[in-house]
Amino acid sequence: QVRLVESGGGSVQAGGSLRLSCTASGSIYTARCMGWFRQGPGKGREGVAVINSGGGNTYYADSVKGRFTIARDNAKNILYLQMNSLKPEDTDMYYCAARYDLYCFTVLPSSSFPYWGQGTQVTVSS
């Protein structure tokens, strides 16, 4: 069973950038789809971006298209989320997730992913 650990969160001003990392304890080479999700207090867990195992297929929520980029390094077992042009509404706890059984063809709901990290907080001030 893979263990996922997020890092890279923090506090930035609007317009700034952050890069989140998700380091896996085991191989992610066979993880057919990995993704980033976010959740604020009292809200459901929202899909942000997903990427398939080869890295060539990526899908984004409309709210982050053109600003966020998801990538993965299978050799290092790390998933990334580069976040640019951050807005106050991007403030949330961010989680990475993995599934090994099926590929993603869109940003799937959180219930589709069995493996999760503990989250890293991103705070964007205006």
The per-residue pLDDT for range 23-81, each reduced to its tens digit, is 999 888 899 999 999 999 899 999 999 999 987 899 999 999 999 999 999 999 999 99
The per-residue pLDDT for range 9-27, each reduced to its tens digit, is 999 999 999 999 999 998 8
The pLDDT of residue 1: 80
Under 8 Å CB-to-CB from 1, ≥6 apart: which residues? 26, 115
Contact 3, 96 (CB under 8 A): no
Q: Per-residue pLDDT averaged across 120-126, rounded?
A: 98
* Burial label, 110 (beta-carbon count in 10 A; 0-12, 13-18, 19+): middle
pLDDT averaged over every residue in the chain = 96
For the chain, the straight-line distance linking the first and the last C-alpha, in angstroms and rounded, comes to: 40
> How far is residue 8's CA from residue 108's CA, in Å, rounded to a whole number?
24
Token match 């942000």: residue? 48
